[in-house]
Chains A and B, each alone.
Chain A
Amino acid sequence: MQVKVLAFGVLKDLLGTATAEIELLAGSRVGDLLRILEQSTSNLRMETSVWQSLAVAVNREYSSAATELRDGDEVALLPPVSGGDNDGVGGRDAH
């Protein structure tokens, strides 16, 4: 089966793309997808913290690593959000 992956914010820059179609085994869960992405980007010097701190939305609903995926799902990788005013925020230098 195939899912559509969307990346936002710093994850979009780190992965080098905003959208990707990913082929998965039937019965795969969000956690399986994250492991695949983490392995495929291990040469990108992405800090582990990026993977530890993100949230995942499946079809625009917050989901957990245990959420089972279905063919055609839209899976969004969400770094910690930073909407609103710029009150006391820091950040990592972009490239």
Chain B
Amino acid sequence: MLIEIVDTPIEPGSIVAAAKAGSDGAVCIFDGIVRDNTRGRQTLYLDYEAYREMALEQMRRLAAEAVEQFGVRDVALVHRLGRLYVGETSVLVVVASAHRGAAFDACRWLIDTLKKTVPIWKRETFADGAVWADGEPFPEHLAAHSAGAEG
């Protein structure tokens, strides 16, 4: 499994090629790229930052859980940090499996869960200002103020 946080451009072609094996019937790829606008505001670039050691560990666990839960053969998860411009790849999810159903399901679960639980943040700079993206609410069991957690 290739699990990485990088500071340089992600090259999907070589990562996908390396993920394929003879027993695979399907490789499902999610290539997350920087879009040129958010809610009508023109995006110039995104700055990604991470709690690096924890993010990498969380990504490793997600990949292992995907293999166990969906029965896929291999997973590659790569996230880039730093300043990214329109069209560049911020995250790449590659799932190799004997059958496409499991590959699609695992790929979807991986990107959806990564976006909720892996400690990475982005600041979006527009032509007319900048914001920290709101982010997705933490799953209830991870929130510091979750029910029953108050000491």
* From A8, A63, A85, A90, contact of B91 by CB (8 A): A85
A62 in contact with B142 (CB, 8 Å): yes
Q: How many residues of A contact B (CB 8 A)?
A: 44
* From A13, A89, A93, contact of B38 by CB (8 A): A89
* From A55, A82, A85, contact of B144 by CB (8 A): A55
B98 close to A (CB within 8 Å): no
B34 close to A (CB within 8 Å): yes
* From A9, A29, A60, contact of B53 by CB (8 A): A60
A86 CB contacts on chain B under 8 angstroms? 34-35, 38, 43, 46, 90, 122, 124, 133
A42-82 vs B, CB cutoff 8 Å, 1 = contact: the mask equals 00000000011111110011111111100000001011111
* Bound CA–CA A79/B91 (angstroms): 20
A19-43 vs B, CB cutoff 8 Å, 1 = contact: the mask equals 0000000000111101000000000
B109 close to A (CB within 8 Å): no
- Given known pairs A64-B144, A89-B38, the reply for A81 and B151 (CB within 8 Å) is no
B115 in contact with A82 (CB, 8 Å): yes
B121 CB contacts on chain A under 8 angstroms? 8-10, 79, 81-83
Across the A-B interface, how many residue pairs have beta carbons closer than 8 Å?
157
**Shortest CB–CB separation between residue B108 and chain A, in angstroms?**
12
Task: List 14 interface pairs A-B (beta carbons < 8 Å), by A numbering.
Answer: A9-B123, A53-B138, A56-B144, A57-B119, A65-B151, A76-B51, A80-B138, A83-B121, A84-B111, A84-B120, A85-B90, A86-B38, A89-B135, A94-B123
A-B pairs, top 8 by smallest CB distance, nearest first, are: A83-B120, A91-B131, A80-B135, A85-B32, A64-B149, A9-B121, A66-B151, A82-B135
Given contacts A57-B119, A83-B91, A84-B120, 8 further A-B contacts (CB under 8 A): A9-B49, A30-B151, A55-B144, A76-B119, A83-B114, A84-B91, A89-B122, A90-B134
